[in-house]
Amino acid sequence: MKKSKLPELNKCTIGVIGLGYVGFPLALKIANQKTSLVTREKVQRKVIGYDVDNIRISELNRGIDKKNIFSKEFIKGTKNIKFTNNKKLLESIEIFIITVPTPITIHNNPDLTFLKEASKIVGDCIKVKDYKGKNPIVIFESTVYPGVTEEICIPIIEKISGKKYNCKKFINSFYSGYSPERINPGDSNYTIDSIIKVTSGCNEKVSDWIDSFYKSFISAGTYKVSSIKVAEAAKIIENTQRDINIALVNEMAIIFQKLNIKTKEVLDAANTKWNFQRYDPGLVGGHCIGVDPYYLTYKAKEIGYQTTLISAGRKINDYMYK
């Protein structure tokens, strides 16, 4: 029985599925990397950026970024990259990176529709490819609760592709990892290159490969964890913690207002202590902070635990618009 073989680190084909505020900068960063930051070896990776939005693809192929993050000259000057909505072009891909949105429903439950569709696309693509003895790797970056990658996404890929997951000595296999996105949209100080990348994989060999892959182009470096679930949980806790901290100061602001005390003056005074962590009151929106806690409370309820503090924080922050 033949042993599995991972793609060549510095010379592989990469497909980024989802070209939003996470996937687009990532695809450009990978395509523009000419030399490994670790080994200084030459990097020759080909990148295909895939998105179902026909208008978005048409704009990117003309060098137009409606989000105004990258100039037309920079986009058009990036070699080794192609933007497409044609799934057939993904059939040559060895490394899939999934960066699709993970919103919530009107009932505040996780909406994994985009993630499931992306998994189906990967399954279709690796089904028709033998990879000449190499085994493809699927890396998820979309924010999820612990367990989504291997309990929901992987079974979809297995079923559609007919390939086995995480087999050490099975040539018709594929592997996966999880590396949570940490991009703060619109923040020019903390970009993809300046934020430490948490990495993980389904086994030690794959974990090392994924960590080396990101380390080769992320200047801030990486932080490898022991499992995919740990990496998923790390992402969830980052934004949940921020949501709770904002909820605390929001509730304080409500109390201070009723006491006819200026909240800003209170915060300015408290901030003179060296270990006081300042948060200002306000609305909580965007892609992450107002969404991620619901993913965690959903999973907690699924395993029989009713969250108290996290749910209370969400209730306070949702109330603030009033």
Catalytic residue numbers, as ranges:
288
Backbone angles phi, psi at 111, to 5 degrees: -110, 100
Adjacent-strand bridge partners of 97:
16, 139
- For residue 82, give the H/E element and its range: strand 81-84
- Give SS3 for 320: coil
Adjacent-strand bridge partners of 5:
134
CA distances from 288 to 92, 255, 277 (A): 32, 27, 21
* Contact in structure between 218 and 210 (CB atoms under 8 Å): no
CA distances from 180 to 98, 119, 190, 227, 266 (A): 10, 17, 15, 13, 36
* Contact in structure between 238 and 309 (CB atoms under 8 Å): no
> For residues 130 and 191, what is the distance between their CA atoms, to the nearest angstrom?
36
> For residues 142 and 232, what is the distance between their CA atoms, to the nearest angstrom?
9
Locate 277 and state its tokens: 């962590």
66: CB partners within 8 A, 6+ apart: 56, 59
* Contact in structure between 168 and 3 (CB atoms under 8 Å): yes
Angle at 246 between CA 244 and CA 248, to 5 degrees: 70
- Give SS3 for 176: strand
User: Which residue is associated with the tokens 């999820």?
Assistant: 144
> For residues 146 and 321, what is the distance between their CA atoms, to the nearest angstrom?
30
